[in-house]
Structure formats: structure tokens, C-alpha cells
Amino acid sequence: MPSRSSKLQSTWDEILSEIRKSVNPHRFNTWLRPTRQEKLESGTLVISVPDAELQQVNEKFRPQIEQAIRRLHLDGTVERVEVVLAARRAPDSLEAAPAAPAPAAPPPLQKTLEFDTGSLKPEYTFANFVVGGSNQFAHAAARAVAEKPGRTYNPLFLYGGVGMGKTHLMHAIGHQTKALGRPLRIEYVTAEDFTNEMISHLRHDSMIAFRDRYRSVDVLLIDDIQFIANKERIQEEFFHTFNALHGAGKQVVISSDRPPRELSQLEERMRSRFEWGLTADLQPPDLETRTAILMEKAQLERTKHPQTLELSPAVAEFLASKIKSNVRELEGAMIRLLAYCALKSLPVTIAAAEEALRNLLNQQQRKLDIEIIAKAVAESFNLRVADLKTRNNSQHIVFPRQVAMYLTRQLLDASLPEIARFFGGKHHSTVIHSIRKIEQERQVNQTLARTLAHLSEQLR
């Protein structure tokens, strides 16, 4: 008798309730909630997961699982935990399913993963992808495509800025399609590699092989298509590949740094074809999502390198609040912080983060130098930067200049002499006076308050 039918709560459920106390909710929902106890026999607790990619759950949460077992005094009962892939039953066979599924045990992970993961990065799975408002739609579309390639949205066109997770989602589609165990040919290629391969085949007079290769796949994932926008010959070739695949009901997934209509150098017929299916954008993630991504990455890092220090949610949020530009940079900053703390034997605190990232943060801030602020302010007052830098003290220049000084101090934390130097070599007491004046004025002047808010938003 499987233990779950004899008790209200299975042993695994008890363990889960314990683990839950120490794992962040997003991770719990992604990894642990979908697990089920299959059986508990001679010290082996067998749990099942619905997706192949979740089979790492055991490795990922080993310390937490072991701790929970000890805390619940289950050490004598559970000696090891094994993870299997849940058997997928056709709905009509449910009734006929045997009560004890012992002989038809689900295949172990190694078996299911015996496909060629080729150029797909192992970590870029759906399970490791954090879903937030900024990417929800693209994520749902990608999942739908992975479930039924060629039959839902075809092509799927994903677009968004650098580091928004386009490549990650494409790989995840590849992994998931494979994990569902269908004998499909999946090809992931960047538009750049596609181009290089084609050039090499052209040179070796082997275009037939090239065409065969790309026209025989079931799922073509082509990344960063903007790369071929200004290359006519490549476009032509891709156009035919696309048509051949699409016409045969094969799935095409395309990514780009901008929407089809903005790929201005791309032929019109291609652009319109890209819009046949579904277009989904990935926006920059908000603070909460960035924090969750960091927690996820830190955990991944720990599974790869167990000695990696732990990242607390507070420190993750601190990093995420400082680095907004893109997830890749954020990840880099985290790795650097953890390495820094490990080398210096420091606990991973916000103070340590501030110290470790000073260089990095300064770099980010330097990008936004005084010149840029001055330019934005000048534009909004219909002036030129040069006007703000003159010694001209007529009122229509003095006021914008004060605004620019104020914003420079706010956004850059620049020193007073530095600001004074930039704006026409004033004495730094003039700068202090200017900043105070704007600060006071904004309290009572709504228009000014709005202008300032607008400018800082634009500059941040």
C-alpha cells in the first residue's frame, strides 16, 4: 500500500511543510509544490515530478531535505530520497490504472534526459525562469509553444532589450519540448551563426546540405534576428527556410531586440511574415522580479559550487535596487559580491555589498555624467548646454542652471566644486544656494515638482 493512501499527509508532505519554512515562496512553488510522494519502501522515499527539468529538485534542495528529515525525526524512516518523472497517463486509461504502479515505475531521470541537449544551456529552463509582470506574457507564450510546437503560435516572435531573458526563454522551449519526450528535432541557432554557416556552405558549394539541415527540423529557434536585417542574401535564404518550415507546420521561434515593424532594414515580406503568429515583448523586470531572479541565480550557483556563500533576500534586494539596467549585469554583480566576501571571509551583508560594488556602481553612475543631465535640462528649457555653462546670469538661464545643478547633486552625488566647475566656474557657495533654492521652490511649485520628477525619471 502506498503510504499516501493510508495517511492524510504523506511523509513527503510533512517534509515539504518543514522545508517551506526556510525556502523563498517562489522557489518553493516552482520546485517543490509540483512534487508528489510515490512510495516509501525500505528507507527509500520515492517522489515524482511532472517535468524532467524538475528532477534536479533532490540535488538543489539536498541540505534542506536532510535538515527537515532530521528535524522531524524521520532519520530512521527515510534514508534516501529518489526522484522519478511522473508517468503521463492518457486520460482514458485513468480508470484502468493499477492501484499499485510498482512494475510500471516511471523512468528515472537519466533515461529521460538521454536526448541531445546540443547547444542548449542546461540552466536556461522554465523552472529557472522567474516570472513577473514584465515577462509574464512572453513566458506563457513560450510555454504554450513548447507544449504544442507548430500548433499554437507560429511563428512566436519574442523581442526585448539586452538581458531581458529572450535567449533563456528560447532555450527553455528547447528543453521543455525535448523533456516532453517527443522525437522532435530541435535546432537552436543565433542569426549570426546561421549567417556564418551559410557563408561557409556557400564557399564549399554545399548549400544543399545546409538547406537540408535547416529544413528538416521540427522546431527552429533563431536568436537575435536583427543581425540579418541588413544582409540581403542571408535574408533571402532565411525567408525560404522559414516558409518551408512554416508551410510544413513546423515551429519557428524568433527573437529580436525590437519588434518586427522596427526592423526597418528587413524586407517587408519578412516583417509581415514575422507578424503572422504571436509577438510578445519582454520588458525590464521590476524590483521584485529582479530580486527573485537574483535569489534563483544564487541558489543555482550554490548547486554548481556548494561552497558558494548564501545570499539573503535583503542583500539581493539591495543589489537589485542598485542595478536596474539588465539582468546579466545584475548577475555579474552578485557573483562578484559573493566572491569578494568569500575571499575576505566577510558575511554577505549590505555593507559588504556596498564596498564590493563601489567600482561597479560608480561605473554605472559615470555613464550618467553631468553632461547628460545638463543636456536633458537644457532641452526641456529650450536652451543649449553651452548656455548653462556660461557666466550669463539672465533669469531665463539662471533658473534652468539651478535645476541642472540640483539634479546633478541628486542623481550623481557629485561634489560641490565639481558641479561649480562644470556650470561656468561658479563658487561652490553658489551651488549650495542654487540647490537650496530649487529644493524650497519644489515644495510650493507643482510645475517645477513635475518637471523635476519627469527629468529624473528620464535620466535614471
Among 38, 281, 331, 387, binds ligand ADP (CB under 6 A): 331
Does residue 430 belong to the site contacting Mg ion (CB under 5 A)?
Answer: no
CB 206 within 8 A of CB 243: no
Quick check: bond before 260 cis, omega within 30?
A: no
Sheet containing strand 80-85, edge to edge, reads: 36-41, 44-49, 80-85
The nearest distance, CB 307 to ligand ADP, in angstroms, is 21
Does residue 167 belong to the site contacting Mg ion (CB under 5 A)?
Answer: yes
Q: Percentages helix, strand, coil for the chain, rounded to the nearest 5?
A: 55, 10, 35
The nearest distance, CB 224 to ligand ADP, in angstroms, is 8
Does residue 130 belong to the site contacting ligand ADP (CB under 6 A)?
Answer: yes
Q: What is the DSSP pairing of strand 251-256 with strand 186-190? A: unpaired
> What are the residues whose beta carbons fall under 8 Å from the beta carbon of 4, sequence distance 6 or more?
10, 13, 36, 37
- Residue with the shortest CB distance to Mg ion: 167
CB 281 within 8 A of CB 321: no
- Binding part of the chain for ligand ADP, among 29-37, 124-132, 192-200, 433-441 by CB under 6 A, reads 124-132
CB 228 within 8 A of CB 191: yes
Among 38, 53, 296, 317, binds ligand ADP (CB under 6 A): 296
Among 129, 210, 318, 406, binds ligand ADP (CB under 6 A): 129
- Binding part of the chain for ligand ADP, among 48-56, 122-130, 188-196, 426-434 by CB under 6 A, reads 122-130
Q: Tell me the DSSP string of 256-274.
A: ESS-GGG-TTS-HHHHHHH
Binding residues among 160-199 for ligand ADP as defined by CB under 6 A? 160, 162-168
Binding residues among 193-212 for ligand ADP as defined by CB under 6 A? none
Nearer residue to ligand ADP within complex by CB, 317 or 331: 331
The nearest distance, CB 27 to ligand ADP, in angstroms, is 12
DSSP E strands in 121-242: the ranges are 156-160, 186-190, 219-223
Cα pseudo-dihedral 369, 371, 373, 377, rounded to 10: 180
Question: Which of helix, strand or coil describes residue 94?
Answer: coil
Nearer residue to Mg ion within complex by CB, 274 or 406: 274
The site map against Mg ion for 202-221 (x = CB under 5 A) is --------------------
> Which residues form the interface with ligand ADP (CB under 6 A)?
124, 128-130, 135, 160, 162-168, 293, 296, 327-328, 331
The residue ranges that bind Mg ion (CB under 5 A) are 166-167
